């Protein structure tokens, strides 16, 4: 199975967002990954709903919305209004994760739980059957262009085992420092979905890089 490729808009040229989204629309990308930050859960602020509305209108690819914010449940309606495919909330930001996951599903989106580099895969055992995907952070969230944390490969293998043992249908997504080299190793370890920011948008030919990521095996 070829991996699902989700370029991360965070690394795009924000002065020419429409042009960047049109490039994604014409590429082999499967989804468009959107990073929302609040300056509280992570030490950075990215883009909010007034910017994301035109982004959503221009994108022909399903939106994979990654919320690096506290109390993400407050924004289920706003994310839904974008027409998002997935809503990714952090394990570390949700004391009542089971409720939030249910609310996202009731809103008609696919619920995704995201774990930071220091959060063990084993903590997902009681929620793994309820989510459509797990996003494993392979950098500390907040910024594009960081170095891939090698231990992520072991976490992906652990997660693959947990999913197989429990009969969960969850996909495994990885975000942070993904390029052709780390991407190949992640796919071999069991990753289904690769998010890539800098590797795509800072490459000489983003369309070709997306094509190459799509054909990793
Ligand atoms: C980081 C974001 C990522 C980021 C990845 O906190 O969640 O989606 O855009 O960027 P790269 O691929 O450059 O590490
Ligand atoms: Zn992200």
Q: Which residues, at least 6 apart from 87, have a Cβ–Cβ distance to it below 8 Å?
A: 65, 67, 72, 76, 79, 80, 104, 107, 109, 110, 111, 112
Taking a C-beta distance cutoff of 8 angstroms, is the pair 51, 37 a contact? no
User: What is the domain partition of the chain in residue ranges?
Assistant: 4-214
Q: Whose CA is nearest to atom 10 of ligand 1?
A: 144
The pLDDT assigned to 182 comes to 98
Is 210 touching ligand 1 by the criterion CB < 6 Å?
Answer: no
Say whether 35 is catalytic.
Answer: yes
In ligand 1, the atom with minimum distance to the C-alpha of 66 is 7
Active-site residue, selected from the candidate residues 35, 38, 132, 192: 35
Is 175 touching ligand 1 by the criterion CB < 6 Å?
Answer: yes
Say whether 192 is catalytic.
Answer: no
Ligand 1 centroid to Cα of residue 175, in Å, is 6
Spatial strand order of the sheet with 171-175 comes to 4-7, 193-196, 171-175, 133-137, 110-115, 86-90, 63-68, 32-37
Is 195 touching ligand 1 by the criterion CB < 6 Å?
Answer: yes
Q: What is the mean pLDDT, run by run of 10 residues, along the chain of 217 residues?
A: 97 98 98 98 98 98 98 98 98 98 98 99 98 99 98 98 98 98 98 98 98 95
Tokens of 123: 């903590």
Distance, in Å, from the CA atom of 47 to the CA atom of 148, rounded to the nearest integer, reads 23
The pLDDT assigned to 1 comes to 87
Tell me the CATH number for domain 4-214.
3.20.20.70
Which residues are near ligand 2, the ion (C-beta closer than 5 Å)? 35, 66, 175
Ligand 1 centroid to Cα of residue 179, in Å, is 11
What would the 3-class secondary structure string for 184-214 be?
HHHHHHCCCEEEECHHHHCCCCHHHHHHHHH
The pLDDT assigned to 198 comes to 98
Give me the helix-helix angle, 206-214 and 180-189, nearest 10°: 20
- The dihedrals phi and psi of 98, each to the nearest 5 degrees, come to -60, -40
Active-site residue, selected from the candidate residues 30, 38, 64, 175: 175
Indicate which ligand has the atom closest to the C-alpha of 176.
Answer: 1
| pTM, to two decimals | 0.98
In ligand 1, the atom with minimum distance to the C-alpha of 138 is 14
The pLDDT assigned to 97 comes to 98
């Amino acid at each position: 199975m070829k991996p699902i490729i989700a370029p991360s808009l965070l690394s795009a040229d924000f002065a020419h967002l429409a042009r960047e989204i049109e490039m994604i629309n014409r590429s082999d990308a499967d989804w468009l990954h959107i990073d929302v930050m609040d300056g509280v859960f992570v030490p950075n602020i990215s883009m909010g709903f007034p910017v994301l509305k035109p982004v959503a209108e221009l994108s022909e690819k399903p939106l994979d919305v990654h919320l690096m914010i506290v109390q993400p449940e407050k924004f289920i309606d706003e994310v839904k209004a974008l027409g998002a495919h997935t809503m990714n909330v952090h394990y570390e930001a949700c004391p009542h994760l089971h409720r939030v996951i249910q609310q996202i599903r009731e809103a008609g989106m696919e619920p995704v739980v995201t774990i930071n580099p220091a959060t063990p895969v084993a903590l997902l055992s009681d929620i793994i059957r309820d989510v459509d995907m797990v996003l494993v952070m392979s950098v500390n969230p907040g910024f594009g262009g960081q170095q891939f944390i090698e231990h992520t490969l072991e976490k992906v293998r652990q997660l693959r085992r947990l999913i197989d043992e429990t009969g969960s249908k969850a996909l495994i997504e990885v975000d942070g420092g993904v390029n052709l080299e780390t991407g190949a190793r992640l796919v071999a370890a069991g990753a289904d979905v690769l998010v890539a920011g800098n590797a795509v948008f800072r490459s000489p030919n983003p369309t070709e890089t997306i094509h190459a990521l799509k054909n990793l095996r």
